A and B are shown apart, each in its own frame.
Chain A
Amino acid sequence: MIGAAVGIFIFYLGLILSLFYFVGGKGFWEALSHPNTLFSIRLSLVGATLATFFAVIIGLPSAYALSRFKFVGKGILDTFLEIPMIISPVALGAAFLVFFNTPLGELIQTKGIYFVFEVPGIILAQFATIAGLTTRLMKASLDEISPRYEAVARSLGSSPWQTFYRVTLPLSFRGLLASVILSWAKAFGEFGATVTLAGAMPGKTETMPIAIFTSLASANIDKAIVLILILVAFGLLVLYSVRLTGKRVRYD
Chain B
Amino acid sequence: MIRIEGLTILFESFKIMNLNIQIEEGGFHFLLGPTGSGKTLILESIMGLHKPKRGRIWIGDKEVQGLPPERRGISYVPQDLALFPHLKVRENILFGIRARDLDMKIYEEYVYALVEVMKIGHLLDRYPAHLSGGEKKRVALLRALAPKPKLLLLDEPLSGLDPSIKVDIQHLLKNLHASFHPTTLCVTHDFEEVYFLGDGITIFIDGKVEQVGRRDDVFLRPNSEKVAQFLGAKNLYRAKVLKNEPSSQRLILGVNGLQFSIPMSLYQDRIEVGKEVDLFIRPEEVMILRDGKLVKDSLKQNIFEGKILDISNRERYYTIYFQTTEGKILFEISIPNYAFRNLNLSIRKMVRIALREESLWVMV
Give residues in A with beta carbon < 8 Å to B: 146, 148-149, 151-160, 162, 166-167, 170-171, 249-252
A sample of 24 cross-chain residue pairs with beta-carbon separation below 8 angstroms, ordered by A number, consists of A149-B82, A151-B47, A151-B69, A152-B76, A152-B84, A152-B143, A154-B48, A154-B49, A154-B69, A155-B69, A155-B70, A155-B153, A156-B96, A156-B99, A156-B143, A156-B147, A157-B147, A159-B68, A162-B99, A166-B99, A171-B86, A249-B86, A251-B128, A251-B129
The answer to whether B85 and A171 have CB atoms under 8 Å apart is yes
Q: Does B191 contact A (CB under 8 A)?
A: no
Nearest Cβ distance between residue B289 and chain A, in whole angstroms?
Answer: 53
The answer to whether A153 and B76 touch (CB under 8 A), given A170-B86, A252-B129, A252-B130, is no
Leading 10 A-B pairs by shortest Cβ distance: A156-B96, A157-B100, A251-B127, A157-B99, A148-B82, A154-B69, A155-B76, A158-B99, A152-B82, A170-B86
The answer to whether A152 and B85 have CB atoms under 8 Å apart is no
The answer to whether B95 and A151 have CB atoms under 8 Å apart is no
Q: Does B326 contact A (CB under 8 A)?
A: no
- B49: which A residues are within 8 A, CB to CB? 151, 154
A158 vs B78: C-alpha distance when bound (angstroms): 17
The answer to whether A156 and B100 have CB atoms under 8 Å apart is yes
Q: Pick the contact of B82 from A146, A159, A160 — CB < 8 Å?
A: A146
Number of interface residues of B (CB under 8 A): 30
Chain B 68-82 interface mask (CB, 8 Å, partner A; 1/0) = 111010111110101
A187 vs B200: C-alpha distance when bound (angstroms): 61
- B74: which A residues are within 8 A, CB to CB? 155
- A149: which B residues are within 8 A, CB to CB? 82, 84
Which of A152, A154, A251 has the most chain B CB atoms inside 10 A of its CB?
A: A152
The answer to whether A156 and B80 have CB atoms under 8 Å apart is no
Which of B44, B78, B86, B130 has the most chain A CB atoms inside 10 A of its CB?
A: B86
Q: Pick the contact of B78 from A151, A160, A251 — CB < 8 Å?
A: A151
The answer to whether A157 and B127 touch (CB under 8 A), given A151-B78, A171-B85, is no
Q: Pick the contact of B96 from A146, A148, A157, A167 — CB < 8 Å?
A: A157
Q: Known contacts A148-B82, A154-B68, A156-B75; can you find 9 more A-B pairs with CB under 8 A?
A: A152-B82, A153-B84, A154-B49, A155-B70, A156-B99, A158-B95, A167-B84, A249-B86, A252-B127
Closest B residue to A148 by CB, please name it.
B82
Closest A residue to B49 by CB, please name it.
A151
- B82: which A residues are within 8 A, CB to CB? 146, 148-149, 151-152
Nearest Cβ distance between residue A142 and chain B, in whole angstroms?
Answer: 15
Chain B 51-77 interface mask (CB, 8 Å, partner A; 1/0) = 000000000000000001110101111
